[in-house]
Amino acid sequence: MRYFIELSYRGTAYHGWQTQANGNSVQTTLEAALTQRFGKPIYVVASGRTDAGVHARQQFAHFDVAEPFPLTDSFIYSLNCILPEDIVIHRIFPVQEKDHARFSATFRYYQYLISRQKSAFQSGLTYHFRPQLNEILMNEACQLLLQHTNFQSFSKARANVTHFHCRLDFAYWERINNDSLTFHIRANRFLWGMVRTIVGTMIEIGQERMTLDQFEQIILSRDRNKAGRAAPANGLFLIEVGYPEEVLEQGAGGRQQGE
């Protein structure tokens, strides 16, 4: 039997999603809670691997067990009691054996938050960046970005992938108020470090230190050394992971808990 888990987490205390030899990860913590609750080893596969310090408002993972089990409110509650406060399981639901948290996903949607003002309550959840940014120019850069599919220039050099093509659905900056900006981007897949590098490069445009022509030349160069520095991890959130309707319909009545 295969089950999907919908969860969220604050990534500040973790060395990313993936199990690490030298640091705590979200995957390891989740697997430990499931193993404790089931009384036998449970291993999970996520929709994607978030980097150290990156957060997820919605993440999906799947795991396999030999027999079905009762999906009661108390079962999910007990798992959330085992997990630390910065990881929350919202629901668990059965899926078909062929359904895969990573390979069945149709899109991933990220947001990056920037604030000019320091906040005692948003520490670790937004990038505190004081200079004023020109979001008009940054949105013009987004329009250029949407004209391309090869994003090797924004991928970490050690990325172990067969190609660097991604289909972007949208990319834009939204000014929340005079002190806050949010970058929205959705694609069928993302390369390692891609969103943070795009944000870091667009910050150069927003400060008018880089022209739109220079930005497009960076994309065309397919050279990570040409792009800007990656923005800090703390401002990045995985917001939503999309799946075909037939996958999520199986979980429409799944047990839900948490915020």
27 and 99 belong to one structural domain = yes
**Contact indicator for 108, 238 with CB cutoff of 8 Å:** yes
User: Which range (139-148, 159-168, 174-183) has the least confidence?
Assistant: 159-168
Domain boundary among 104, 126, 148: 104
CATH code for the domain in which residue 44 is found: 3.30.70.580
Domain boundary among 104, 130, 147: 104
234 and 132 belong to one structural domain = yes
97 and 125 belong to one structural domain = no
- pLDDT at residue 158 in the model: 67
Residue among 59, 57, 51 nearest 5 (CA)? 59
pLDDT classification of 256: cutoffs 50, 70, 90: low
Where in the sequence is the domain holding 130, given as residue range(s)? 107-238
* Catalytic residue check, 51: yes
- pLDDT at residue 78 in the model: 96
Query: In a 10 Å sphere around its CB, with 0-12 CB exposed, 13-18 middle and 19+ buried, how is residue 112 labelled?
Result: buried
- Is the residue at 198 inside a domain? yes
Predicted confidence (pLDDT) per residue in 216-231, tens digit: 999 999 999 999 899 9
- What residues does 175 pair with on adjacent strands? 181
d(CA 7, CA 91): 7
Q: Is this model's pTM higher than 0.95 or not?
A: no
- For the cut 50, the answer to whether the pLDDT of residue 71 exceeds it is yes
117 and 98 belong to one structural domain = no
- What residues does 56 pair with on adjacent strands? 9, 238
Amino acid at 146: L
**Contact indicator for 29, 83 with CB cutoff of 8 Å:** yes
Say if residue 110 carries a ligand binding annotation.
yes
Helix (H, G, I), strand (E, B) or coil at 76: helix
Domain count, the chain: 2
C-alpha separations of 87 from 25, 47, 188, 249 in Å: 11, 16, 25, 24
Name the catalytic one among 51, 64, 86, 179.
Answer: 51
d(CA 248, CA 77): 21
Predicted confidence (pLDDT) per residue in 13-64, tens digit: 999 999 888 889 999 999 999 999 999 999 999 999 999 999 999 999 999 9
